[in-house]
Amino acid sequence: MKKLFLTELNRLSIPEYKLKNKFPIILVADNIRSGHNIGSLFRIADSFSFQQIVLAGYTSQPPHPEIEKTALGSTQSVQWTHFEQAVDFILKLKAEQYQIIAIEQTDASLMLQEFKVNKDGRYVIVFGNEVKGVSQELLDIADHCLEIPQMGTKHSLNVSVAAGIVSWEFVKGFL
| Cα 66 from Cα 87, distance rounded (Å) | 26
* Rg (alpha carbons) of the chain, rounded to whole number: 16
Would you give per-residue pLDDT tens digits along the chain (175 residues)? Answer: 999 998 899 899 999 999 999 999 999 999 999 999 999 999 999 999 999 999 999 999 999 999 999 999 999 999 999 999 999 999 999 999 999 999 999 999 999 999 999 999 999 999 999 999 999 999 999 999 999 999 999 889 999 999 999 999 999 999 9
The answer to whether 145 and 47 are in contact (CB under 8 A) is: no
pLDDT at 6: 87
Domains belonging to the chain, first-starting first, are: 20-148+155-174 (3.40.1280.10)
The answer to whether 50 and 22 are in contact (CB under 8 A) is: yes
Which of 76, 38, 43 lies closest to 59 in space, CA to CA?
38
104 HSE (CA, 13 A, CB side):
28
What single-letter amino acid sits at 69? K
